[in-house]
Amino acid sequence: MTGTSDVRTRDDVIRMVDAFYARVRSDSRLGPVFDEVARVDWDAHLPKMYAFWEGALFGTPGFRGEPLAVHAALARRVPLGPDDFGRWLELFAETVDALFAGPVATSAKRRAERIADVMLERITAGAAGGGRRLI
């Protein structure tokens, strides 16, 4: 299935985020990281991700959090490298493409790529500077 309309509303963002994290949780590589290592509280995490993506795509204020700090702490518990972030991006793009098409959908995928690049760079730099090497 390929999306035919663009991401336009908060409800679209919720649909995208819910579908994406359903894929993540069922993924053999990423699912255990989220559910067994990070032990994500999905009832708390998903609303934060709705706010994050609504802000990223529409400029809506409301996201509060420090994603880099959270991911850096996780990387101290489990190695996170290019393959992990690549898989995250693959699942994100597949989800967006299955549900939506248009400039906002394209923007979401580009933003996800930048986020993954920054996270990987910062986590890797932190590990190289004072801990085990992640890649």
The string of pLDDT tens digits covering residues 30-56 is: 999 999 999 999 999 999 999 999 999
Where does residue 25 rank: exposed (0-12), middle (13-18), buried (19+ CB within 10 A)? Answer: middle
Over range 16-23, report the average pLDDT. 98
Residue 132: its pLDDT value, please? Answer: 38
Sign of the dihedral defined by the CA atoms of residues 110, 8, 58, 84, in that order: negative
In angstroms, rounded to a whole number, what is the distance separating the alpha carbons of residues 33 and 21? Answer: 12
Query: Measuring CA to CA, which residue among 44, 62, 42 is closest to residue 53?
Result: 62
Residue 11: its pLDDT value, please? Answer: 97
Under DSSP, is residue 7 helix (H, G, I), strand (E, B) or coil? coil
Residue 7: its pLDDT value, please? Answer: 98
Residue-wise pLDDT tens digits, 78-135: 888 899 999 999 999 999 999 999 999 999 999 999 999 999 998 887 655 444 333 3
DSSP state of 60: -
